[in-house]
Structure 1
Amino acid sequence: MFPAVRRIAAFRDSLSLGSLFLPPAGVSQKLDQGLDYERSVKIKNQKLASEYQNRTSFRIMKIQQLRALIETAETGSIHGASRRLHLTQPAVTRAIRELENECGVQLLERHPWGMAPTAEGMTLLQRARNVVRELERAEEDLSHLRGKREGRLVVGVTPLAGMAGLVEAFVEFRRHWPRVTVEFRELEFNQLTERLGNRTIDIALAAFPVNRGEAPGIVRALFAFDSVLVTRADGKYSGAKDLADLQDAEWIHTDVTDSYPEFVRGIFQDAGLAPPERITLCTSYSLFYALALKSDAVLALNLLALNETVVGRSFVELSIKPAPPPSQLFLLSPPDAQLTKPAEHLIDCILKISEVRAERLRIAAKGADCAE
């Protein structure tokens, strides 16, 4: 069986019958003028549901209807959806109304700020994105079998991943797939988990502490980065020799779990010192580095970023022990998923570059041990 056929068959079997095969559209319902908005929505849903239950025949949801729902939800307007889909606004409106009639519920509602999905619409929207993207992948598989080299590849990354061989891997990938549309999306770990699960990204390259917990899907550990404590090179704490000198410093971090704050409090308590009062979480990386460069802050930075980036030159390593937990670079792909040819090739490129970089790190570590 061809890859595209397997993909469609597997995807069809993974969904319940009711999520794709629904009764035909019926007559749209009119609501009394005097009803308030909340009551009118409730009555509309009741009528749609009643109409839905009375149907005896079935038909398949149209992919155009699902695309209309997705684009309207993402752009917040029928106008925005029509521009993305290259359709007229009446055509988009008609597709959404047909979908609502088929589902038996209202999927979108109008707000002062635009169109937004209802609770029922949000439930279908999560499935719809999966459906549309998976069918796009099937079309790409068929295209590749015909010898074409087009397609779309969405790669999720965490900030450190961009410094860990992805650039070199992408250059090699482009030599073989020059016409594939590639999107790199910087995401937090929890966002990567969610989007790998719903297949809105193809693969992910993520770096996080090795004790972060299990990552989703197929996980390949590539290599680890040692981390150190640093501060601004010309800052107040650049000459700090021990933890007592850093009690009044601003400790900033990007860890949405409590792992890093626990590490900071733990090393102070082990040294018989009161933990610092200012431990600040910042999940915006641009703001994080702005704070690090403009304030007298202490932060954990991996040696790769410290030694190989322009920003790293602005910091000085503090000789404070113990060092922060190391970070591990992981290559993630969705569970039980058939990847497209471009995705498989990019993974191969990443693995090859990672092997070279890991060997360099091993040689550097041996050299450091010999020097000691």
Structure 2
Amino acid sequence: MKLHQLEALVASADAGSIRAAARALGLSQAAVTRALRELEANERLPLLIRAPEGIGFTEHGKVLLTHARLVLNQLEHAQSDLERLRGRVEGRLMIGITPWVTLTFLAEAVLLFRKQMPEIRLELFEGLMAVAQPLLRDGSMDFAVGQLQPATGAQEFACEPLLTYESSVMVRAGHRQERARSIHDLLEEDWVLNFPPDGQAGLIDYLFTRHGAEIEERRIVRAQSVAMLQTMVEQAEMCTWSPTILSRVPPFGGRLRSLALREHFEPRQLGIVTRRNSTLSSAAACFVDCFMKVIRRHARSAKKEDLALFETLELLI
């Protein structure tokens, strides 16, 4: 298995055809075709499905494609670290950020990081974990600041805890159930939630089943962005379950109501989520350090807004 073969495989997947992959790589179509055929011959497995409208991948090809992306991304990180040691700090850093962190600590962390590593091309991704996990899995994303669901492959990802945060059931201000006091009062309402593909059962158990409540699955809408969650809560009268801190910061403060239910929901952990056994690049480690400095500064602050934030947060570091 050779590097140029893996590059041809990934480029073909990204471009959708061998011809487009050849253009992206600056090679001839014959060279890319030859690299892919050699890869299939070496592995003695069919990897590609060739069709007039483009190419697809067999199950074998999909597995190899995931590993190929990881290899190429790790090589890019290695190159960036070597350039840093030569005195040239450059490279790319892609981070998934859970939305409530975006609204609180992110801007300060980014400013501090850019002072220390101004040459790094920083790419920030709204990191609801259901969205971030595939990008972490294939190595496109360096790490995510978020919460790793217990149901999601503990063998696949690792999480370094930073703090705990309270979560609560929420509705829009003025919702007919604004004064509800039990999860049982909300079983006839529609809900909008975010969860990874293998996380629905765990979330339903956490919110409903363990409290002796049952909800029809048809009542649950799965949303993949905060904008969708917000729209469904404010305009479609849906209930949601979110970090309590969202009800205290713009643009949600005053627009969302955290319900005082008698059911207890344990605090969740926010941490640095990475692929298990992966190594953070120097740029990634620097960003994590900047982020932790910002959080600690706010935790020590006596400002009214910071005291309000840390009523729902507890540092673990």
Q: Could you tell me which residue of structure 2 aligns to residue 224 of structure 1?
A: 164
Name the SS for the 1:348 alignment partner: helix
Q: Distance in 2 between matches of 1:124 and 1:65?
A: 11
Q: Could you tell me which residue of structure 2 aligns to residue 328 of structure 1?
A: 269
Letter in 2 for 1:311: F
Contact 2:187 2:214 in 1 (8 A): yes
The structure, 1 or 2, with the larger RCO (C-alpha pairs under 8 Å, 6+ apart) is: 2
When Rg is computed on C-alpha atoms for both structures, the one with the higher figure is 1
CA spacing shift, 1:211–1:364, aligned 2, 3 Å: farther
Letter in 1 for 2:82: L
The within-5 A match list for 1:1-372 is 20=1, 61=2, 63-111=3-51, 113-187=53-127, 189=129, 192=132, 196=136, 199-207=139-147, 218-240=158-180, 246-255=186-195, 256-266=199-209, 269=212, 275=214, 277=216, 279-285=219-225, 286-359=227-300, 363-364=307-308
Contact 2:167 2:241 in 1 (8 A): yes
Q: Structure 1 or 2: larger helix share?
A: 1
Shift of 1:172: 1.1
For structure 2, list consecutive stretches of 5 or more residues without a partner in the other structure: 313-317
**Larger CA deviation: 73-82 vs 152-161:** 152-161
Contact 1:231 1:238 in 2 (8 A): yes
Name the SS for the 2:87 alignment partner: coil
Contact 1:237 1:246 in 2 (8 A): yes
Q: Distance in 2 between matches of 1:106 and 1:86?
A: 25
Contact 1:160 1:207 in 2 (8 A): no
CA spacing shift, 1:260–1:104, aligned 2, 3 Å: closer
CA spacing shift, 1:230–1:215, aligned 2, 3 Å: farther
Q: Distance in 1 between matches of 2:83 and 2:310?
A: 48
Contact 1:229 1:323 in 2 (8 A): no
Q: Distance in 1 between matches of 2:137 and 2:127?
A: 14
Name the SS for the 2:147 alignment partner: strand
Shift of 1:358: 4.0
Over the aligned positions, Cα root-mean-square deviation in angstroms equals 3.4
Q: Distance in 1 between matches of 2:310 and 2:135?
A: 39
User: How many correspondences in the alignment?
Assistant: 304
Shift of 1:202: 2.0
Q: Distance in 1 between matches of 2:255 and 2:157?
A: 37
CA spacing shift, 1:193–1:263, aligned 2, 3 Å: closer
Shift of 1:240: 4.1
**Larger CA deviation: 69-78 vs 293-302:** 293-302
Shift of 1:216: 5.1
**Larger CA deviation: 209-218 vs 324-333:** 209-218
Shift of 1:275: 4.7
Shift of 1:67: 0.9
> If the length of structure 2 is used for normalisation, what is the TM-score?
0.79
CA spacing shift, 1:120–1:367, aligned 2, 3 Å: closer
Q: Distance in 2 between matches of 1:367 and 1:202?
A: 31
Report Cα offsets for 1:45-84 as digits up to 9, x if no partner.
xxxxxxxxxxxxxxxx2x2221111010122112332343
Contact 2:90 2:121 in 1 (8 A): yes
> If the length of structure 1 is used for normalisation, what is the TM-score?
0.69
Q: Distance in 2 between matches of 1:230 and 1:131?
A: 42
Q: Distance in 2 between matches of 1:103 and 1:323?
A: 53
Identity %, equivalent residues: 28
Report Cα offsets for 1:120-155 as digits up to 9, x if no partner.
322332332222222222222221111111112222
Name the SS for the 1:109 alignment partner: strand
Letter in 2 for 1:291: M
Contact 1:156 1:205 in 2 (8 A): yes
**Larger CA deviation: 344-353 vs 294-303:** 294-303
Letter in 2 for 1:73: A
Contact 1:300 1:324 in 2 (8 A): no
